[in-house]
Amino acid sequence: MAEPINYTSAVETIKTAILQGQYQAAKDVNRVQLALYFAIGRYISKNTRKKFWGQGALGIISEQLKKELPGLKGFSESNLKNMRKFYENWIILDANSTDAIVELQNSNSTDASVELQKVENKIDINNSITISNVNHFPIEDFFKLPFSHHLVIVEKVKDLDARYYYIHRAVSENMPERYLSKIITEEAYEKRGTLPNNFNKTISDAAFARKAVMMFKDEYLLDFINVEQIGERDIEDVDEKVLEQQIVHNIKNFIMKFGHDFAFLGSQYEVEALGHKHYIDLLFYNRELACLVAVELKSGDFKNAYLGQLNGYLAILDDFVRKPNENPSVGIVLCKNADKNYAEYMVRTYDNPMGVATFKTAADMPEKFRKALPDIEELKKLL
């Protein structure tokens, strides 16, 4: 019967790395912690995946570490496994990963104690993560993201570009771990490019919700807008009526840009509810969706208050205008600019189907594209 493996060397190696990491952490806590966990994960991976260590090794090592470093937190058996997971999911950041794998695969010895001698007996924190061999890697964001957030990403996301996307969003938005998990589950990366909306939450018919998502864009080019009337003034002070009038004047162009199967019902569409009159900027009916579509026009930046106003309009449309055979009304806030992540977050707090889209005029396009566009009079002749 083989004698039990002595893990004293392993404990000492990991303990030394921990102490080194604690000393360096004063400079950059998160960066050092990630480098430490990555290095320990690499060390554990090499020793466990080819069974250099026996079963239950991580539990034994964890308990011994607690005895030798009283008060130590974060090095339970489960967290040691998380460090291994972190390393193995980011093995591309290990400059020596290919050589290490080949070395382990070519090993045929059955003597674990002999094999253990071939594995590194130290953990180098400073040289554990190598970024230079990975293209377009978000270095700063990676080291700013807490370890717990990293675990959420490596457990739920396999595509490299998607990981980069979630790392950047989590850091730039100071995102809680719970919300990060939520947007991954909701496939935020796959849905980027679609307008911020709450259709899946507010529309019970899944097929109708999918159609609604596909029906609208996140951005529209309204190249028929007279930018001389709008652009010369402070965008926040522009009367939305100017924008509305130009859209109504060019309603055929607008519908061609907006999508297919739209019928225009009117601008400043009056709806009376309980003795109060309300005026919807633009009201359409969409045959494909079989529903009313209210558009709230804003010439400036997106504000959450616009959603509240639109939410009220949709409730009134459903109660006082919608016919029994029609689907629930859908609303779109169409504004000049929007922080789409913020809009996506805020729109989900409302209980009527809504989305937020932005528009650009011809003046917003690069010069070479503006020159390529036909003159508005030529467009009118074509139409």
Q: Are residues 278 and 217 in the same domain?
A: yes
Q: Are residues 214 and 306 in the same domain?
A: yes
Q: Are residues 338 and 238 in the same domain?
A: yes
Q: Which two structure tokens, joined as six digits, stand for 81?
A: 């496994």
Q: Which residues of 234-270 are buried (b: 16+ CB within 10 A; e: fewer)?
A: eeeebeeebbbebbbebbebbbebbbeebebeebebe
pLDDT tens per residue across span 92-149: 888 665 443 333 334 333 333 333 334 445 676 666 677 666 677 888 899 999 999 9
Q: Are residues 176 and 300 in the same domain?
A: no
Q: Are residues 147 and 121 in the same domain?
A: no
Beta bridge partners of 333: 296, 356
Q: Are residues 217 and 345 in the same domain?
A: yes
Q: Are residues 235 and 351 in the same domain?
A: yes
Angle between helices 29-48 and 57-68 (to 10 degrees): 140
Separation of alpha carbons 189 and 195, rounded Å: 13
pLDDT of residue 133: 60
Report the CATH number that the domain containing residue 287 is assigned in CATH: 3.40.1350.10
Q: Are residues 116 and 159 in the same domain?
A: no
pLDDT < 50 regions, the chain? 1, 26-27, 98-120, 227, 229-237, 368-370, 372-383
Residue 193 lies in a domain: no
pLDDT of residue 323: 94
How many domains does one find in the chain? 3
Residue 3 lies in a domain: no
pLDDT of residue 269: 93
> What is residue 194's DSSP assignment?
B
Tokens 């917003």, located at residue:
364
Q: Going by C-beta distance under 8 Å and a sequence separation of 6 or more, which residues neighbour residue 113?
A: 5
Q: Are residues 172 and 296 in the same domain?
A: no
Q: Are residues 35 and 150 in the same domain?
A: no
Taking alpha carbons only, the member of 374, 343, 18, 39 closest to residue 196 is 343
pLDDT of residue 382: 42
Q: Going by C-beta distance under 8 Å and a sequence separation of 6 or more, which residues neighbour residue 136?
A: 164
Q: Are residues 61 and 96 in the same domain?
A: yes
Q: Are residues 155 and 262 in the same domain?
A: no
pTM for the full predicted model = 0.57
Phi first, then psi, for residue 10 (nearest 5°) are -65, -45
Q: What strands lie across the sheet with 291-301, from one edge to the other?
A: 219-221, 354-360, 330-337, 291-301, 276-286, 262-273
Q: Which domain holds residue 168?
A: 143-188
Residue 1 lies in a domain: no
Residue 40, Cβ density class (10 Å: 0-12 exposed, 13-18 middle, ≥19 buried): buried
Separation of alpha carbons 294 and 314, rounded Å: 7
Q: Which two structure tokens, joined as six digits, stand for 107?
A: 């090993």
Which amino acid is it at 378?
E
